[in-house]
Amino acid sequence: MPYVNVKVAGELTKDQKKKIVEGITKVLEDVAGKPPSATYVVIEEIDRDNWGKGGKLLSDK
Protein backbone atom coordinates (compact mmCIF):
# COMPACT_ATOMS: atom_id res chain seq x y z
CA MET A 1 0.00 0.00 0.00
CA PRO A 2 1.90 3.09 -1.18
CA TYR A 3 1.35 6.32 0.72
CA VAL A 4 2.65 9.50 -0.90
CA ASN A 5 2.59 12.87 0.86
CA VAL A 6 3.00 15.88 -1.44
CA LYS A 7 3.64 19.26 0.16
CA VAL A 8 3.28 22.40 -1.93
CA ALA A 9 3.67 26.07 -1.12
CA GLY A 10 0.43 27.91 -1.70
CA GLU A 11 -2.87 26.70 -3.05
CA LEU A 12 -3.67 24.44 -5.98
CA THR A 13 -6.86 24.23 -7.98
CA LYS A 14 -8.97 21.09 -7.77
CA ASP A 15 -7.93 20.28 -11.36
CA GLN A 16 -4.23 20.55 -10.45
CA LYS A 17 -4.75 18.26 -7.45
CA LYS A 18 -6.60 15.76 -9.60
CA LYS A 19 -3.76 15.67 -12.14
CA ILE A 20 -1.13 15.26 -9.41
CA VAL A 21 -3.03 12.35 -7.82
CA GLU A 22 -3.62 10.69 -11.21
CA GLY A 23 0.02 11.13 -12.24
CA ILE A 24 1.56 9.81 -9.03
CA THR A 25 -0.84 6.87 -9.01
CA LYS A 26 0.04 6.05 -12.63
CA VAL A 27 3.80 6.19 -11.96
CA LEU A 28 3.48 3.80 -9.02
CA GLU A 29 1.41 1.45 -11.15
CA ASP A 30 3.80 1.59 -14.14
CA VAL A 31 7.09 1.51 -12.25
CA ALA A 32 6.34 -0.47 -9.10
CA GLY A 33 3.35 -2.54 -10.22
CA LYS A 34 1.15 -1.12 -7.47
CA PRO A 35 -2.59 -1.26 -8.13
CA PRO A 36 -4.28 2.16 -8.17
CA SER A 37 -6.82 0.94 -5.62
CA ALA A 38 -4.01 0.51 -3.08
CA THR A 39 -2.32 3.90 -3.60
CA TYR A 40 -2.96 6.82 -1.27
CA VAL A 41 -1.87 10.35 -2.19
CA VAL A 42 -2.19 13.22 0.28
CA ILE A 43 -1.65 16.81 -0.83
CA GLU A 44 -0.77 19.36 1.82
CA GLU A 45 -1.02 23.01 0.86
CA ILE A 46 1.32 24.99 3.07
CA ASP A 47 0.71 28.70 3.40
CA ARG A 48 3.69 30.60 1.99
CA ASP A 49 3.92 32.42 5.37
CA ASN A 50 4.74 29.03 6.94
CA TRP A 51 7.48 27.94 4.56
CA GLY A 52 10.99 29.34 4.34
CA LYS A 53 13.93 28.95 1.98
CA GLY A 54 17.31 30.61 2.06
CA GLY A 55 16.53 32.35 5.33
CA LYS A 56 13.37 34.02 4.02
CA LEU A 57 9.69 33.21 4.02
CA LEU A 58 8.36 32.30 0.60
CA SER A 59 5.70 34.99 1.05
CA ASP A 60 8.48 37.63 1.17
CA LYS A 61 9.83 36.81 -2.29
Query: How do beta strands 56-57 and 40-46 pair?
Result: unpaired
Q: Of these residues, 2, 4, 20, 43, which one is catalytic?
A: 2
> Do 25 and 36 touch, CB atoms closer than 8 A?
yes
For residue 56, give every residue at least 6 positions away whose Cβ sits within 8 Å of its Cβ, in sequence order, or none.
none
35 is catalytic: no
Which residues are catalytic, by number? 2
